[in-house]
């Protein structure tokens, strides 16, 4: 009998997803099989960034692009809704007619948009704004629409208005309250915001009430469905106390949300007076085997419509199921966002409800900036504030509220333009820096200190701070600098003791000075004779710029790390492995036979690599030229498996064979691999090409991934596997092959120019201010005007490519290195020995150096 229990999660939105993630990370899946039901046709996605769907597509918003978690004990079932709960039987009924037993049930059903009972709300082209499907429907309707209106001028309403505006529909916003974003900002802040929005060409109507929505009655415009219903399309909006009708073709309701607590009500769980499932501080409902988290839950009778508190609830529930003592005790409802390019932030007691509190206001109507601080009666504490138009000081102000730290002497400095104070004000350790993940300054500083972190991506990785909304990234940067300075460590960009420069600076210095050798570089910019850090880095830069032979004595021959130095990969017993290039993983039977014969004749261990080629292990250094002679004769060339350079472009079989493929992915992979072969870079580079959205080539796990679409190719960049896996992000959609290569040329060259040593594309992108957005500006929009230059550099690389192994075999001077002993070239090194496992060789290491004895004859120098 299995002792494993079943944990059912109802709802795969942001909070449900976070709960499953926490369950996996914290080991809940050791005891429970987790099944999560999502009613939407897609897995959890970033609803906060919903509006960017039009720009980046659904894939980029997904939190779980593969559709399933890596832990097989957590299963996602989509298109399936939990329709009822039987608490006695401990089962849930599902929309597909089946039932599922549970030991523990977690309700994460979220909230539904509230649609007020306005006449005409069931007309066609009346929408809400909650799911990707809603956005798709709006996009479709916008194709024929001239004007649209959003009912509700809150945070989400303005997001929806922004979306309509982007779809090039004349956009109106209608708000019942006398100002926009009534929950977050005051009248003056709302007025500032309104001016910003109207300047963009939208029309804002505040303090007006919608009476009804008018529909067309003209027969031509009536859509008849099979049942003969004649729901007309929207034609206009009628306000109360105003005779004119606003002509619109689209109406979007964004008048708040209501918790989806019907499941709980139906099975008799306690619910809050104003809706939401009542839960204890550890997120249990009135039935202790049922938890509720996120917008459907009401801890202490209050519902939270933000994602950060929902995430906290998910963590608390997972913690409680593991026997932990975590409790949810309310949340910071501070908000900071950018709406149509306008910063808006609201935090703490924004409306000065504290008795005796004072307000400090800075307003610049010309620049569209409004800032208000609420401070305590005795002027010692910051209680809250509102920022519109410039929220750059939010990162420093909000923690001042939550930590209760003393105000500086001139608090107005905090909101005056170009305030000098902001970065220097010391926060106490308890100050919360990342509100999404609840990480304090103390925790971050401790991590920087204990884990010896030296960059912001490492802090994010280690503490999870800045990984949700990213708004605290600048504080992380400041804290890092502060901590490093405290420790007496300048945040040095120097790559090692020999050069006071970062890799990027060296790249530029070498380019400008046309420095073609290590000697020239060290003479001009360095000291000493280099080391194992700077020498390979400079070798890589010289290779990227001049593309000479890596064993060329005059320039880079002595700089190479042992893999590049012997054009093979050093393994643990001092032997090497050999990887010929197999572009795109496509290989003829004849060539396969050659590899088999070479491996057999030289007694090598063979293994298929993850990059769709074949690795031959156990070659002694003196065997390498003979092995490569055979391989080159058979038409192989170096696979550069030993270099910080392009490795492989993996592919699926594509439309030539596959029933589902829409483009020829193999041909594209081969073309890309041959285009970029031999390209030296700050770290290894891998690519992938998939012939359809099924993504069998796992292209999004690569530095550059290409996925075929019906219309062309989607290009993703910045992915990798390894210790810190990252999914590549969308750079361009539906481009043709020529554009694809143009963008890739630019992307790769810009990376090579500006990345740090051993920095892969993902961390490099993280380090750029703006990340993928910045990369897009540079690569796609050519914002720096570098496009042609980067393309020319790549063209030069492509033109000057040659096979390193073939060139080595033709040059006796380069071959001289490949001997076991300089005075006994024919004697194999006795330190190398093998045993056998599963029919192949395996290295044996010795605890002492092995002696051949003094009787072995050695050659005298000639």
Partner 1 sequence: MTSTTTVSGGFIPVCRLDQLEVERGATALVHGQAVAVFRTYDDQVFALGNYDPFSKSSVIARGIVGTRGETPFVASPVYKQAFDLRTGACLDDEGVSIPSYEVKVEDGVVLVGPRLKHPKRG
* Site residues (vs partner 1, CB under 8 A): 497-498, 528-532, 534-536, 553, 557-562, 565-566, 570, 572-574, 621, 816-817, 819-824, 827, 829, 831-832, 845-862
| CA 591 – CA 479 distance, rounded (Å) | 56
Q: Taking the complex as a whole, how short is the minimal distance between the CB of residue 128 and partner 1, in angstroms? A: 59
| Contact assessment for residue 197 and residue 216, using Cβ atoms and an 8 Å cutoff | no
Q: Taking the complex as a whole, how short is the minimal distance between the CB of residue 559 and partner 1, in angstroms? A: 7
Quote the Cα angle for 72-74-78, to 5°: 110
| CA 791 – CA 770 distance, rounded (Å) | 23
Q: Taking the complex as a whole, how short is the minimal distance between the CB of residue 618 and partner 1, in angstroms? A: 13
Q: Taking the complex as a whole, how short is the minimal distance between the CB of residue 567 and partner 1, in angstroms? A: 12
Task: Give the residue with the Cβ less far from partner 1, 199 or 553.
Answer: 553
Task: Give the residue with the Cβ less far from partner 1, 116 or 825.
Answer: 825
Task: Give the residue with the Cβ less far from partner 1, 560 or 577.
Answer: 560
In Å, how far are 183, 191, 192, 369, 388 from 365, measured between CA atoms? 22, 10, 7, 6, 11
527: left (phi > 0), else alpha (psi -120 to 50), else beta? Answer: beta
Task: Give the residue with the Cβ less far from partner 1, 89 or 531.
Answer: 531
Task: Give the residue with the Cβ less far from partner 1, 89 or 822.
Answer: 822
Q: Are strands 646-651 and 605-608 parallel, antiparallel or unpaired?
A: unpaired
Task: Give the residue with the Cβ less far from partner 1, 217 or 823.
Answer: 823
| Contact assessment for residue 375 and residue 406, using Cβ atoms and an 8 Å cutoff | no
DSSP three-state, residue 336: strand
| CA 249 – CA 142 distance, rounded (Å) | 8
Containing 126, the helix (H) or strand (E) segment is strand 126-128
Task: Give the residue with the Cβ less far from partner 1, 433 or 621.
Answer: 621
Task: Give the residue with the Cβ less far from partner 1, 117 or 857.
Answer: 857
In Å, how far are 345, 369, 372, 392 from 410, measured between CA atoms? 22, 20, 14, 18
Q: Taking the complex as a whole, how short is the minimal distance between the CB of residue 488 and partner 1, in angstroms? A: 19
Computed from CA positions of residues 60, 254, 249, 164, in that sequence, does the dihedral angle turn out positive or negative? negative
Q: Taking the complex as a whole, how short is the minimal distance between the CB of residue 684 and partner 1, in angstroms? A: 18
| CA 652 – CA 287 distance, rounded (Å) | 50
Task: Give the residue with the Cβ less far from partner 1, 468 or 515.
Answer: 515
| CA 62 – CA 44 distance, rounded (Å) | 6
Residues pairing with 171 in the sheet: 148
Q: Taking the complex as a whole, how short is the minimal distance between the CB of residue 433 and partner 1, in angstroms? A: 35
Task: Give the residue with the Cβ less far from partner 1, 406 or 856.
Answer: 856
Q: Taking the complex as a whole, how short is the minimal distance between the CB of residue 456 and partner 1, in angstroms? A: 26
Q: Are strands 614-619 and 576-578 parallel, antiparallel or unpaired?
A: antiparallel
| CA 726 – CA 453 distance, rounded (Å) | 19
Task: Give the residue with the Cβ less far from partner 1, 472 or 621.
Answer: 621
Task: Give the residue with the Cβ less far from partner 1, 566 or 751.
Answer: 566
Q: Taking the complex as a whole, how short is the minimal distance between the CB of residue 317 and partner 1, in angstroms? A: 44
DSSP three-state, residue 165: helix
Q: Taking the complex as a whole, how short is the minimal distance between the CB of residue 841 and partner 1, in angstroms? A: 15
| CA 227 – CA 241 distance, rounded (Å) | 37
| Contact assessment for residue 314 and residue 438, using Cβ atoms and an 8 Å cutoff | no
Task: Give the residue with the Cβ less far from partner 1, 307 or 537.
Answer: 537
Q: Taking the complex as a whole, how short is the minimal distance between the CB of residue 526 and partner 1, in angstroms? A: 11
Q: Taking the complex as a whole, how short is the minimal distance between the CB of residue 859 and partner 1, in angstroms? A: 5
Q: Taking the complex as a whole, how short is the minimal distance between the CB of residue 563 and partner 1, in angstroms? A: 8
In Å, how far are 24, 111, 129, 344, 646 from 157, measured between CA atoms? 35, 16, 8, 14, 47
Task: Give the residue with the Cβ less far from partner 1, 520 or 786.
Answer: 520
Q: Taking the complex as a whole, how short is the minimal distance between the CB of residue 164 and partner 1, in angstroms? A: 58
Residues pairing with 707 in the sheet: 690, 714
Q: Taking the complex as a whole, how short is the minimal distance between the CB of residue 828 and partner 1, in angstroms? A: 11
| CA 152 – CA 365 distance, rounded (Å) | 25
Largest distance between two CA atoms of the chain:
113
| Contact assessment for residue 456 and residue 464, using Cβ atoms and an 8 Å cutoff | no
**Which string of DSSP letters, residue by residue, matches 668-736?**
HHHHHHHHHTT-B-SS-EEEEEESSTT-TT-GGGSSEEEEE-SSSEEEEES-B-SSS-B--EEEEEEE-
Quote the DSSP letter at residue 828: P
Q: Which residues contact 409 (CB under 8 A, 6 or more apart)?
A: none
| CA 155 – CA 769 distance, rounded (Å) | 26
Q: Taking the complex as a whole, how short is the minimal distance between the CB of residue 601 and partner 1, in angstroms? A: 24
Task: Give the residue with the Cβ less far from partner 1, 320 or 535.
Answer: 535
Quote the DSSP letter at residue 785: S
| CA 112 – CA 39 distance, rounded (Å) | 13
Task: Give the residue with the Cβ less far from partner 1, 2 or 855.
Answer: 855
Quote the DSSP letter at residue 452: T
């Amino acid at each position: 009998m299995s002792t494993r229990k079943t944990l059912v999660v109802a709802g795969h939105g942001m909070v449900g997803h976070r709960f499953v993630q926490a369950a996996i990370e914290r080991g809940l899946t050791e005891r429970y099989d987790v099944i999560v039901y999502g009613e939407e046709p897609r897995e959890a996605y970033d609803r906060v960034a919903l509006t960017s769907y039009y720009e980046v597509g659904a894939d980029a918003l997904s939190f779980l692009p593969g559709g399933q978690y890596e832990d097989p004990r957590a299963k996602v079932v989509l298109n399936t809704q939990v329709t009822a709960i039987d608490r006695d039987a401990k089962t849930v009924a599902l929309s597909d007619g089946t039932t599922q037993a549970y030991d523990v049930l977690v309700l994460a059903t979220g909230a539904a948009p509230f649609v007020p009972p306005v006449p005409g709300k069931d007309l066609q082209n009346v929408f809400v704004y909650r799911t990707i499907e809603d956005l798709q429907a709006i996009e479709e309707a916008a194709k024929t629409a001239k004007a649209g209106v959003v009912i509700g001028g809150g945070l989400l309403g303005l997001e929806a208005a922004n979306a309509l505006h982007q779809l090039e529909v004349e956009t109106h916003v209608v708000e019942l309250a006398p100002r926009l974003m009534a929950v977050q900002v005051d009248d003056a802040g709302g007025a500032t915001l309104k001016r910003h929005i109207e300047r963009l060409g939208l029309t804002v109507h505040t303090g007006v009430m919608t009476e009804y929505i008018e529909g067309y009655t003209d027969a031509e415009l009536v859509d008849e469905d099979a049942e003969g219903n004649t729901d007309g399309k929207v034609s206009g909006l009628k306000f109360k106390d105003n005779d004119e009708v606003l002509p619109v073709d689209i109406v979007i309701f964004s008048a708040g949300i209501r918790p989806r607590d019907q499941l709980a009500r139906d099975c008799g769980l306690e619910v809050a007076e104003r809706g939401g499932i009542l839960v204890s501080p550890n997120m249990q409902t009135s039935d202790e085997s049922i938890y509720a988290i996120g917008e459907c839950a009401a801890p202490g009778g209050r519902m939270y419509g933000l994602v950060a508190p929902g995430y906290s609830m998910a963590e608390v529930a997972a913690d409680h199921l593991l026997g932990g003592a975590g409790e949810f005790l309310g949340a910071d409802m501070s908000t900071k966002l950018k709406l149509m390019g306008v910063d808006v932030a609201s935090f703490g007691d924004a409306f000065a409800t504290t008795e005796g509190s004072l307000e400090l206001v800075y307003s610049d109507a010309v620049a569209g900036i409004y800032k208000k601080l609420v401070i305590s009666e005795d002027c010692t504490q910051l209680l809250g504030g509102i920022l519109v138009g410039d929220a750059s000081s939010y990162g420093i102000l909000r923690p001042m509220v939550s930590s209760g730290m003393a105000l500086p002497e001139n608090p107005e400095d905090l909101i005056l333009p170009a305030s000098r104070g902001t970065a220097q004000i010391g926060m106490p350790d308890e100050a919360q820096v990342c509100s999404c993940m609840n990480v304090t300054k103390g925790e971050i500083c401790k991590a920087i200190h204990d884990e010896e972190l030296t960059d912001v991506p490492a802090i994010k990785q280690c503490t999870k701070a800045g990984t949700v909304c990213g708004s605290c990234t600048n504080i992380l940067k400041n804290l890092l600098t502060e901590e490093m300075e405290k420790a007496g460590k300048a945040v040095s960009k120097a790559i090692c003791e020999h050069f006071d420069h970062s890799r990027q600076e060296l790249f530029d210095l070498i380019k400008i000075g046309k420095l073609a050798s290590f000697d020239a570089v060290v003479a001009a910019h360095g000291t000493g004779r280099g080391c194992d850090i700077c020498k390979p880095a400079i070798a890589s830069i010289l290779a990227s710029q001049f593309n000479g032979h890596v064993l060329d004595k005059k320039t880079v021959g002595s700089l190479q790390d042992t893999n590049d130095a012997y054009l093979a990969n050093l393994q643990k017993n001092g032997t090497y492995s050999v990887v010929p290039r197999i572009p795109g993983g496509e290989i003829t039977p004849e060539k396969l036979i050659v590899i088999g014969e070479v491996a057999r004749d030289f007694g090598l261990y063979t293994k298929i690599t993850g990059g769709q080629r074949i690795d031959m292990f156990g070659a002694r250094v003196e065997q390498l030229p003979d092995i490569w002679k055979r391989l080159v004769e058979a038409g192989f060339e170096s696979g550069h498996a030993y270099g910080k350079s392009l490795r492989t472009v993996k592919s699926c079989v594509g439309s030539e064979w596959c029933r589902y493929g829409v483009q020829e992915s193999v041909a594209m992979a081969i073309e890309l691999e041959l285009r970029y072969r031999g390209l030296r870079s700050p770290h290894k580079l891998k690519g992938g090409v998939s012939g359809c959205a099924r993504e069998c080539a796992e292209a999004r796990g690569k530095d550059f991934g290409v996925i075929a679409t019906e219309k062309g190719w989607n290009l993703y960049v910045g992915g990798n596997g390894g210790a810190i896996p990252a999914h590549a992000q969308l750079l361009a959609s539906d481009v043709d092959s020529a554009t694809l290569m143009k963008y890739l040329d630019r992307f790769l060259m810009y990376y090579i120019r500006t990345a740090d040593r051993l920095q892969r594309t993902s961390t490099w992108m993280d380090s750029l201010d703006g990340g993928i957005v910045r990369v897009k500006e540079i690569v796609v929009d050519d914002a720096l005007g570098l496009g042609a230059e980067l393309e020319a550099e790549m063209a030069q690389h492509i033109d000057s490519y040659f096979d390193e192994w073939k060139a080595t075999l033709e040059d006796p001077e380069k071959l001289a290195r490949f001997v076991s002993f300089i005075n006994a070239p024919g004697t194999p090194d006795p330190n190398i020995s093998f045993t056998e496992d599963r029919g192949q060789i395996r290295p044996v290491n010795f605890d002492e150096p092995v002696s051949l004895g003094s009787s072995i004859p050695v050659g005298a120098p000639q």
